[in-house]
Structure 1
């Protein structure tokens, strides 16, 4: 992903800054030795000071570049980028109208899912939120190998399974593609189930192409039924076939209502939360998807007043309520 490449560039710049600082310290000790020595070489001293001055300028330039990278670190989250691509791709086709499912509750329920969870600092931030969010962990890769370990810190969590997009430059390793056979999908989901044995739901990372493919979604839902897993449709395309597949296999199933952090802006995120609360009050529940970005976490921490009229619950708790309603 673009974010990974920027993170890599950021880390490289940090290492360069550290090396240059070490060089300055070493040269400073050398200058001290020159001053103490009886036979001070003024030319050598001047040359060394010039080198230090040059290194200091390089450090300043690199620091400015690093700060700029920090400002630009936020990219449009992949699910949102994927959704916008799908809208452009199908712009001449009228999307199907989502089915509205209501839930009878004394107090409206809101599920806040945080996708792309990969690292320890994200886990810490989610656990310190003033409500119980639902983290959705990437399957482990070389870049984020410890996600199954982090998942154990939560009673309820999901797995964020990469699926093929219409156009996405940096897909995750082992992204499920539309040319996969049933056995390939089965092998992948079985592997995920072994990594995350307590997971009850998965949702799609990107997936605008895969989830719009009827045949592939039916293969996937058949596997999910066999593995006792539910599916939360991230709705990265308005043309998802997930609901059609659910009618055949009848697995636990929900759909995303709102993306929270299309923009890295606290006011925007909180306005999206207000929309989610409005949907929850109308239908009995709503599902909002965000990402563990710094701005998103900050916005959520400052939203107690917005959320005071809803119960924020996990996706597993929502399914339990839905099951009781249907009895």
Structure 2
């Protein structure tokens, strides 16, 4: 909520801030959550389980993986938003997946790699970072990234793998639809921990009007989501796709651009 409101405040001239009201939680509107499942593409079995989750769960696909393109197609046909989960350099020296964006790349190589990643995953409407604790702190690389995504009409979600990430602020500066992860569901792979994180996600959503979680296609995570997602409506929670979560920002941008074009 606070990130979407801040973004709209930067976009809108004074006197038009009433558009924020559509994001403000009210007693008549359910709190909303969006869930992105990252790291899709290696395990066909777990990827298919993720694709069979309710349609509003978003799949983020690693490029150049054995099953990534096929799972993107399956997820799209099941009504899901499809994102590119693009690998980026990290500070821990963890080996990088194919298609990784790194600090050592010049702009031409960086953009060629990014475009190759986008072409490898069908039906992509947005991007988030896989790892990236190092690259998301690089202002030049983030500028290259957001400029390209803006030109291609995509949005960016900051997985927030570093507290010093510049990704979302760069996207805001370029008026790119953006948000950041509120909760990681499963950086500990135990049912107790994942359940605790899911409860925290719902708490944030009820407090702020919406919340965004990222999880992975682990059997433990999929078990919990299969059990608990059907119960959300009774708890006053609405599960929405990532594009639905960002729609107020996208609509506001479109109105501003239309107004500018008529000046």
Task: Bin the TM-score by the shorter chain.
Answer: 0.7 to 0.9
Write 1 or 2 for the structure with the bigger share of strand. 2
Match of 2:105 among 158, 180, 188: 180
- Rounded to whole Å, the distance in 1 between the matches of 2:94 and 2:146 is 27
SS in structure 2 at match of 1:159: strand
Provide the aligned length of Structure 1 versus Structure 2: 227
Summarize deviations over 1:44-74 as a string: whole Å, max 9, x none. Answer: xxxxxxxxxxxxxxxxxxxxxxxxxxxxxxx
- After TM superposition, the score normalised by the length of structure 2 is 0.79
CA contact (8 A) 2:88 2:130 kept: yes
Question: Within 5 A, what are the aligned runs for 1:192-203?
Answer: 192-203=117-128
- After TM superposition, the score normalised by the length of structure 1 is 0.64
Matched, 1:124 2:48: yes
- Rounded to whole Å, the distance in 2 between the matches of 1:190 and 1:217 is 15
Matched, 1:147 2:68: yes
Matched, 1:101 2:22: no
SS in structure 2 at match of 1:172: coil
- Rounded to whole Å, the distance in 1 between the matches of 2:237 and 2:185 is 16
Summarize deviations over 1:138-177 as a string: whole Å, max 9, x none. Answer: 001xxx3231122011231111100000113321123100
Matched, 1:316 2:243: yes
SS in structure 2 at match of 1:211: helix
CA contact (8 A) 2:4 2:179 kept: no
Q: CA, structure 1 residues 210+134, in 2 after alignment: closer, same or farther (shift >3 Å)?
A: same
Structure 2 stretches lacking a partner, 5+ long:
6-22, 256-263
Cα deviation, residue 197, structure 1? 4.3
| Corresponding residue for residue 8 of structure 2 | none
CA contact (8 A) 2:85 2:127 kept: yes
CA contact (8 A) 2:86 2:99 kept: no
SS in structure 1 at match of 2:136: coil
CA contact (8 A) 1:274 1:306 kept: no
CA contact (8 A) 1:190 1:227 kept: no
CA contact (8 A) 2:63 2:99 kept: no
Cα deviation, residue 321, structure 1? 4.2
Root mean square deviation, CA, Å: 2.1
Match of 2:168 among 235, 243, 248: 243
Q: Which moved more, 1:161-170 or 1:146-155?
A: 146-155
Structure 1 stretches lacking a partner, 5+ long:
1-97
CA contact (8 A) 2:101 2:114 kept: no
Q: Which moved more, 1:190-199 or 1:256-265?
A: 190-199
Q: CA, structure 1 residues 269+306, in 2 after alignment: closer, same or farther (shift >3 Å)?
A: farther
Cα deviation, residue 127, structure 1? 2.9
Match of 2:94 among 165, 169, 187: 169
CA contact (8 A) 1:193 1:227 kept: no
- Where relative contact order (Cα < 8 A, 6+ residues apart) is larger, the structure is 2
Cα deviation, residue 256, structure 1? 0.3
- Rounded to whole Å, the distance in 2 between the matches of 1:221 and 1:322 is 16
| Corresponding residue for residue 261 of structure 2 | none
Q: Which moved more, 1:249-258 or 1:118-127?
A: 118-127
Cα deviation, residue 281, structure 1? 1.7
Match of 2:144 among 219, 239, 255: 219
| Corresponding residue for residue 210 of structure 1 | 135
Cα deviation, residue 194, structure 1? 2.1
